[in-house]
């Protein structure tokens, strides 16, 4: 059974860079069938797609975040990562990583809460 696990700091200071990693277990991130994405959810609010990466390194980003987002993949470690720069309190959210078939997310990590605060 495929598993995804987010990891990274739970607290980030304003103006700094949020960095998260998603480690994939019991499945290969190099499969040509899948994409790998990041989605976030501010407390009490809805879902917002951040971006998606293919194992080859091709990326797709939410236009509203594009200037601040970088998603990368490390196939040797079977993981992919998110960096979001210049964070503010509005970036406080639960961050999920997910496997995507096309653009549908069929496996999700449990999510990790990242709080932006000084």
Is 48 one of the binding residues for other proteins (CB under 8 A)?
Answer: yes
Residues in the chain: 118
**Under 8 Å between Cβ of 20 and 114:** yes
Largest CA distance in the chain: 41
DSSP character for 73?
E
Least distance to other proteins, CB of residue 71, Å: 13
Is 44 one of the binding residues for other proteins (CB under 8 A)?
Answer: no
Q: Could you give the 3-state DSSP secondary structure of residue 52?
A: strand
Least distance to other proteins, CB of residue 118, Å: 27
- Distance separating alpha carbons of residues 78 and 75, to the nearest angstrom: 5
Is 63 one of the binding residues for other proteins (CB under 8 A)?
Answer: yes
Residue 38's Cβ-count burial label (10 Å; 0-12, 13-18, 19+) is buried
Is 92 one of the binding residues for other proteins (CB under 8 A)?
Answer: no
Which segment (15-23, 25-33, 78-86, 100-108) binds other proteins by CB under 8 A?
100-108
Is 102 one of the binding residues for other proteins (CB under 8 A)?
Answer: yes
Is 96 one of the binding residues for other proteins (CB under 8 A)?
Answer: yes
Binding site residues, other proteins, CB under 8 A: 37, 46-49, 52, 60-63, 96, 101-106, 108-111
């Amino acid at each position: 059974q495929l598993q995804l696990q987010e990891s990274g700091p739970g607290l980030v200071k304003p103006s700094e860079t949020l960095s998260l990693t998603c480690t994939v277990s019991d499945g290969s991130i190099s499969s040509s069938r899948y994409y790998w994405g990041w989605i976030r959810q501010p407390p009490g609010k809805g879902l917002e797609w951040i971006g998606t990466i293919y194992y080859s390194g091709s990326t797709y980003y939410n236009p509203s975040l594009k200037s601040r987002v970088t998603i990368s993949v490390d196939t040797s470690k079977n993981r992919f990562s998110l960096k979001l720069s210049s964070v503010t309190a509005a970036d406080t959210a639960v961050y999920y990583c997910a496997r995507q078939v096309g653009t549908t997310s069929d496996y999700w990590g449990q999510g990790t809460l990242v709080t932006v605060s000084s």
